[in-house]
Structure 1
Amino acid sequence: MEEILKAIENASIEIKKVIDKGDTSKSENENSTGDTQLKLDIASDIIIEKIFSTIPSIKAIVSEEQESIVPLHDNGEYLIAYDPLDGSSLVDVNLSVGSIYGIYKNEFNAKNIIAAVYVVFGPRIEMVVAQNNSVKMYRLHDGEFKFITDINLNEKGILNATGSTQMCWPTHHRKLLKEMFDDGYYLRYSGGMVPDLHQILLKGGGLFSYPGTADKPKGKLRQLFEVFPFALTYEFAGGAATDGFKRVLEVETTHIHDTTPCFFGSKDEIKRVKEVYKEYGK
């Protein structure tokens, strides 16, 4: 595992160079879910695959930017699903973006995720590692990632990050969020999954939501690359994650690019989500 974490550190340093100097225009390609790929996405994906290909313990990888699983080493122990540069369209307006990694064994599904890593590319480069039931943050300084702090969520938070297209929200979801704002929650939403979830973790708690909607009933966020890694991170930090009805890490995967509705937060907020969704039954 240590060599994988070091590989992610090295990839992050290279991706930062691409962000600083790279081309933020669109390519002529689309990813597996029909989104037009930015050249930054493709460049970041190439960096990560090249570095992972040198790590004997990695059996196979799958990227959000690619159609299928890429085998690497037959005798490898780990499977890695990753989003090379989540929120890359925000680079043009100089907002934070990030990379997300889910580390699995045996198969790519929720029950087999054993660790997660995400990296925030903002004013500072920070890496958060969830493994062995703990969450630790590291910061890039003088070319090295140095330990900063353990991350632990409070039972209840004050932030509310509201994802997806509001005009397509189900009525009960709209009601839930209005009641939370009426109760004094602060809106914090940049449009980037990594920085928004990172903020909730560092500020002690709150809710990030990306529900099923009229236009996307199964949500937009990908299970293997985005949802499961953050679900594990939030659980290890003392919080929780649900699809509205059950624990996210009990959601089944039928295809590597499956999506699911998802809510991440402190235990109090997740309890509140489940109560509302149970009442309305959808």
Structure 2
Amino acid sequence: MNDIFDAIQKSAIRIKDAIDVKDIGYSQKENSSGETQLELDIKCDMIIEEEFSRVSCINTIASEEKEHAETLHEDGRYFIAYDPLDGSSLVDVNLSVGSIFGIYDRAFGADKMVAACYVVYGPRVEMVFAQNKTKLHLLQAGEFEFVKEICLKEKGKLNAPGGTQQNWEPYHKALVDSFFAEGYRLRYSGGMVPDLHQILLKGGGIFSYPATSDKPHGKLRRLFEVFPFAFIYEKAGGDATNGHKDLMTLDYAHVHDTSPCFFGSKYEIKKVKEVYAQNE
């Protein structure tokens, strides 16, 4: 696992350099979702694959930018699903973006997850790595240094509602509004990594990306985004659900399967489950 952690750190440093200097224009290629890829997306994907190819314990990788998983080392133990640059469309307006990694033991699946990690590229480059606990690291002088363990409070103050409101179910809109009525503050940048990072470091709150009329199965991908953040939040003392089931109990059929998802402190997730149970 230390070799994987080191490879992620090396990737993050290289990606930070690429963000600082790389042309962010569009390429002529499309990703697995049919979206035209930024040159920066392709560069970051290549960086991570290069670093992981040097780690013999990594068997298979799956990237948000590739249609299929790829085998690196047949004798390796770990399977890693990653989003090279989540929120990359925010780079040209200089908002924070990030990389997400889900680390699985011998096969993909929430029940096989043994660690998860994400990196935030903002005013500072920070890394959150969860295995037994959720820990924050800061990039300083070319190295990541441990800062602290992250622990969520029972109840938070931030509300980050994703998805286009006109496509929400009425009961979901009522749920979001109820948090605002309790005094929660809106915090939504359009980037999953910075928004969830803010909730973690500020002690709690709720991030939601529900099923919508245009995305009935959710938008965010299970292996690359949903499972890793569910793992991270649970190790930090929070919870994660799709509205009806805990996210870490879900299965997957294809590497790009999606799911509605809610991440937060225990109070907020309990309230989500109550509202959704009434509307099954």
TM-score (norm 2): 0.99
- Structure 1 spans left out of the alignment, 5+ residues: none
Counterpart for residue 154 of structure 1: 153
**Matched residue type, 2:250:** V
| Count of matched residue pairs | 280
Q: Structure 2: how far apart are the matches of 1:278 and 1:26?
A: 43
* Structure 2 contact 78–107 (Cα < 8 Å) conserved: no
Counterpart for residue 93 of structure 1: 93
Residue 71 (structure 2) pairs with residue 79 (structure 1): no
The CA deviation at 1:233 is 0.2
Q: Structure 1: how far apart are the matches of 2:127 and 2:174?
A: 35
**Map of 1:34-113 to 2, 5 A cutoff?**
34-113=34-113
**Map of 1:102-181 to 2, 5 A cutoff?**
102-132=102-132, 134-181=133-180
Counterpart for residue 10 of structure 1: 10
Detail structure 1 runs of 4+ shifted over 3 Å in the superposition.
none
Instruction: For residues 237-278 of structure 1, give each alpha carbon's deviation from its aligned partner in whole angstroms, at most 9, with x where no partner exists.
Output: 000000000100111101000000000000000000000000
The CA deviation at 1:88 is 0.4
Q: Structure 2: how far apart are the matches of 1:206 and 1:22?
A: 34
Q: Structure 1: how far apart are the matches of 2:42 and 2:214?
A: 27
SS of corresponding position for 1:108? coil
- Structure 2 spans left out of the alignment, 5+ residues: none
Counterpart for residue 26 of structure 1: 26
Instruction: For residues 210-238 of structure 1, give each alpha carbon's deviation from its aligned partner in whole angstroms, at most 9, with x where no partner exists.
Output: 00000000110000000000000000000
**Matched residue type, 2:231:** L
Structural RMSD (CA): 0.5
Instruction: For residues 68-103 of structure 1, give each alpha carbon's deviation from its aligned partner in whole angstroms, at most 9, with x where no partner exists.
Output: 111011111100000000000000000000000000
* Structure 2 contact 221–257 (Cα < 8 Å) conserved: yes
TM-score (norm 1): 0.99
**Matched residue type, 1:32:** S
**Map of 1:132-281 to 2, 5 A cutoff?**
132=132, 134-281=133-280
SS of corresponding position for 1:174? helix
Q: Structure 1: how far apart are the matches of 2:94 and 2:143?
A: 23
Q: Which piece of structure 1 moves more, 189-198 or 105-114?
A: 105-114
**Matched residue type, 2:78:** Y
The CA deviation at 1:106 is 2.1
**Matched residue type, 2:19:** I
Instruction: For residues 87-142 of structure 1, give each alpha carbon's deviation from its aligned partner in whole angstroms, at most 9, with x where no partner exists.
Output: 0000000000000000001221111111000000000000000002x000000000
**Matched residue type, 1:6:** D
The CA deviation at 1:34 is 1.4
Q: Structure 1: how far apart are the matches of 2:28 and 2:276?
A: 40
* Structure 2 contact 96–121 (Cα < 8 Å) conserved: yes
The CA deviation at 1:36 is 1.5
Q: Structure 2: how far apart are the matches of 1:37 and 1:185?
A: 35
